[in-house]
Amino acid sequence: MPTKRWRLAAIQAVHSAVFFVELASILWLVASGLLNRRDRSVAVAGALVAAEGAVWLANERICPLTPLAERYGAVSGSVSDIWLPDPIARTIPQWSIPLVATGIMLHFRGLLAGRRLRGSG
């Protein structure tokens, strides 16, 4: 039977994997917005980010893994110690939300520019 320490490590590993997929999705939204690229990969990235945001908001801005991690020995609220430097892990919403907003604005700008070009041509 796995120990609490092993279970906590497994939760942190899952949380880390989700974090890195979400970070890659957010960065792809920004990069693809800068490149004015719209394809299926952008839709997938947007859907992943939207789903993660919906889960986080529906859970009162607490990662659903936090209570589970605390049950297996994490210090209160420390599920964010996902093997990242503490200043980064503790401020994820403060820097990721502006990145998401930037990606959305870049895509919106690209859509508007495309409409203007089609409308004038």
User: What ranges do the domains of the chain cover?
Assistant: 4-120
For residue range 60-111, list pLDDT tens digits in order: 988 888 888 888 887 765 555 566 777 887 888 899 999 999 999 999 998 8
For residue 79 the two structure tokens come to 């599920």
> Can you give the pTM of this predicted structure?
0.84
Q: pLDDT per residue over 57-68, tens digit each? A: 999 988 888 888
Question: CB of 82 within 8 A of CB of 13?
Answer: no
User: Beta-carbon neighbour count of residue 5 at 10 Å?
Assistant: 10
Chain-centre distance for alpha carbon 110: 22
Angle between helices 40-58 and 4-34 (to 10 degrees): 130
